[in-house]
Structure 1
Amino acid sequence: MNRLNILWFRRGVPMLAILLLSGCSSLSYYTQLAGGQLALLRAREPVAAVIADPQRDPKLRDRLRTSQQAREFASRHLHLPDNQSYRLYADIHRQYVVWNVFATGEFSLDPVTHCFPIAGCVAYRGYYDQSAARGEAALQKLDGKDVYVSGVEAYSTLGWFNDPIISSMMTWGDERLATLIFHELAHQRFYVKDDSEFNESYATFVEQEGTRQWRAARGMSPETASSETLRRDQLTQLVLDTRDRLKTLYAEPLSADVMRQRKATEFERLRGQYKQLRDSQWGGDKRFDAWVYAPMNNARLLPIGLYDQWTPAFAALFKQVDGDWPAFFTAAETLGRLPQEERKAALERLLKKS
């Protein structure tokens, strides 16, 4: 695979379809969102019908059977919404369903955000057409921004529509597909406007604990992750470490030329650490080479680990309610309804217990 795992990127893609209701300032942007979402809705068909059709690809039918086991587990055991989301399938006949444009300042890791009445503020702009995404990226570059265009294989509408399993997801492993189902159904159960850190940390915990329980239900060790998951997590940590060093660098009183030079040095350090990890521990697995060795900038790092800071706090909350899912969701919803500063303080207290 010549791209990073979508689990990194989908965490910044919660609800493109809701933007249709948001009164976007650009008519062309509104139009492409409406057209793209409607095309996806029209492409949906019941997963059960695909599985039952002997004329369909046997591998596709097998993958969908396993996906439905995870979907059933999500509602029966994890107490996630029991609806038609991920019980539908859509063949979109392309590699990505949408392209996201991320942007930052040249010496900043803070994203350029886009705010909408229903969706709240998000750290990207999404396009169903790749050329439109590239056009937006070009405009941001002209404004002096670091820009990254990311192809995305899946997204969620938070229950506003019944989200399908998409053909672009069919190259994934079974566990990776299950984790997406758990994560996105967690968003459907509860979502706080204008608090991406809360929403994504909460859904990431549900994904992680749900996957652990899913492994156990399938007779696997709960702590056994796939090699792809382990390697993705290791590379994610390298990127997070790089982000921390860059954040420290950008706070220093340096000239622009010196800052650019040291910024480039940090990116080369990341590549060197990745190469060592790949060759010494991964047996030369090059699945992430294309991402690591592509031109690097702040925006390229932006989607990775951006919103997971409170995940350990939710783990502490789950432990506090003795692993009872309904009680956990009730407690999480109570937190989410607090004013933002009180919510943050409560999460910080939980973090200290983790």
Structure 2
Amino acid sequence: MDVLKAILLVFSLTMLASCQLPYLAKTAYNHLHLMNQRVPISEALKDPSLPEKTKAKLLLAQEASAFSEDILKLEETNNYQEFVQLERDYVSYVLSAAPVYELKTYRWKFPFVGAVPYKGYKTPEEAHVEAKTFDPNEYDTYVRGAGAYSTLGWFDDPILSSMTRYSDYDLVNVIIHETVHATLFIKDHADFNERLATFIGNKGAELFYLKKEGENSKTLARIKDINHDEKIFSAFLSKEIDDLKKWYESHKGRIDKKMKEDRLLEIKNRLKTDVLVKTRIIKYKRFLDEPLNNAKLLSLKTYVYDLSDFEKAYIKLGSDFEKLIEFAKTLEDVDDPEKTLKQFVN
């Protein structure tokens, strides 16, 4: 069935007169190649060459997938029943871009999903080649590795070896996150989709370990620390992005490279003095050591900007995941899902 879907998908793409056609055709080919490497989990578990640690991850991923469907009431799929051993660390390398002196996400347009703030490639070299097509005097670019992705219900997604490199908690979170995408993905609203998946992934993984290991679980305590820190970072990042956007607008036409570097350094300094002193783990310390530009800021914004409205909606709906998803589905037909969400919770 997946092969038939892929053939139909490739055929539909060839009907498009678009500069994206070569990219889409290559992406479809790469996906078909990946699908041809699938091995049923039952067979992978019998493979003597597969490390026991990896086998444990496969079982955990299946457990998280069942939890997503049975407890969180996400879409029932045939995902995560097969395994693919990749020959690389990440399944894809994702490019983001933004104007040098403006906080405005560059978006690529694709069939079915609409405009999205990222573009994936099989290798880092391909992603960096595409990044170089952007004039560095006009655009910032950012390339990151991605260990997982969702085909949004078009195909039966396998567990990838890149996913088994995650910690147990991160693996459970990612499985839930991607299952949210298979349940709901609103065309042209990738930021809303990613934040919904981030929120449910965080909350769902916490509930998963509460049920699996109990209230005294060390894993659960660690998850609570992680979620505590992400709330702090989300609030910090949201304010910094709002303030930086206003700064760019108020200084339009008068900003040079040095001014921008100084302004971004201020953000890092505030992270150090206002955020890291409140966090319980060291996850966000690496933010200080990595280069920062508009593309990276907006990439983070896509996933963690102001998650508080989802929290409010979740509580308003009785802390019921099924009701939250049903409410989110009603936003498919509105012009601005985030605005409608805010109106609902306020």
Q: Give the TM-score band, short-chain normalised.
A: 0.7 to 0.9
**Correspondence for 2:108:** 114
Inter-partner Cα distance in structure 2 for 1:278 and 1:325: 30
Task: Tell me the residue number matched to 1:9.
Answer: none
Report how far residue 292 of structure 1 moved: 3.7
Distance in 1 between the 2:36 and 2:86 partners?
Answer: 10
Q: Counterpart in 1 of 2:323?
A: 327
**Structure 1 residues 108-160: Cα deviation after superposition (integer angstroms, max 9, x where no partner):** 11111111231110012221132221111111135621111122111111111
* 1:190 alignment counterpart: 184
Structure 1 segment 199-210 matched on structure 2, within 5 A? 199-210=193-204
Q: Distance in 1 between matches of 2:229 and 2:307?
A: 20
| Pair 1:287–1:242, CA change in 2 (3 A) | closer
Separation in 1 of the partners of 2:340 and 2:24?
A: 38
Cα deviation, residue 36, structure 1: 1.8
**277, 280, 295: which one pairs with 2:291?**
295
Which residue identity is paired with 1:80? L
Deviations 1:26-73 (A, max 9, x none): 443233212321222112222232223344211111222222221221
Cα displacement (A) at 1:214: 0.9
Compute the RMSD of aligned alpha carbons: 3.1
In structure 2, the residue matched to 1:264 is 261
Question: Which has the higher mean CA deviation after the structures are superposed, 273-282 or 48-57?
Answer: 273-282
Q: 1:159 to 1:254 in 2, by over 3 A?
A: closer
Give SS of 2:300's match: coil
Q: Which runs of 5+ in 1 are unaligned?
A: 1-16
Counterpart CA distance in 2 for 1:236 and 1:321 is 22
Structure 1 letter corresponding to 2:240: T
**Does residue 50 of structure 1 match 2:50?**
no
Q: Any conservation in 1 of the 2:313–2:345 contact (CA below 8 Å)? A: no
Q: Which residue of 2 aligns with 1:128?
A: 122
User: Where does residue 11 of structure 1 map in the other structure?
Assistant: none
Residues 262/130 of structure 1: CA separation in 2 closer, same or farther (3 Å cut): same
**Cα–Cα, structure 1 residues 76 and 28, in superposed 2: closer, same or farther, change >3 Å?**
same
Alignment-mate amino acid for residue 60 of structure 2: T
SS in 1 for 2:102: coil
Residue identity matched to 2:213: G
Q: CA deviation at 1:177?
A: 0.7
- Change in Cα spacing, 1:323 to 1:169, as seen in structure 2 (3 Å) is same
Q: 1:321 to 1:242 in 2, by over 3 A?
A: closer
Greater shift after overlay, 308-317 or 82-91?
Answer: 308-317
Instruction: Identify the residue that residue 246 of structure 2 maps to in structure 1.
Output: 248
Q: Which has the higher contact order (CA 8 A, sep 6+)?
A: 1
- Tell me what 1:5 maps to: none
- C-alpha deviation, 1:346, in angstroms: 3.1
> 1:91–1:346: structure 2 CA closer, same or farther, 3 Å change rule?
same
- Do the aligned partners of 1:99 and 1:151 also contact (CA within 8 Å) in 2? yes
Could you report, residue by residue, the CA deviation over 1:208-252 in whole angstroms, capped at 9, with x for unpaired residues? 331231121023449734356655665555544432332121011
Secondary structure of 2:169 counterpart: helix
TM-score, normalization: structure 2?
0.83
Q: Distance in 2 between matches of 1:243 and 1:99?
A: 24
TM-score (norm 1): 0.81
Amino acid at match of 1:76: D
More displaced 10-residue stretch of structure 1: 296-305 or 245-254? 245-254
**What are the residue-to-residue correspondences of 1:56-67 with 2, within 5 Å?**
56-67=50-61
Q: How far off is 1:282 after superposition?
A: 7.4
Q: Structure 1 residues 178 and 279, CA, compared in 2 at 3 Å: closer, same or farther?
A: closer
Residue 343 of structure 2 aligns with an amino acid whose one-letter code is: R
| Superposition pairs of residues 149-168 of structure 1, within 5 angstroms | 149-168=143-162
Moved more, 82-91 or 267-276: 267-276
Alignment size in residue pairs: 332
Q: Which residue of 2 aligns with 1:313?
A: 309
Change (3 A) 1:50 1:304: same
Is contact 1:187-1:203 (8 Å) kept? yes
Aligned-partner Cα distance in 2 for 1:314–1:215: 21
CA displacement at 1:340 relative to structure 2:
1.0
* Contact kept? 1:100, 1:125, Cα under 8 Å: yes
Q: Structure 2: 5+ residue runs without aligned partners?
A: 1-7
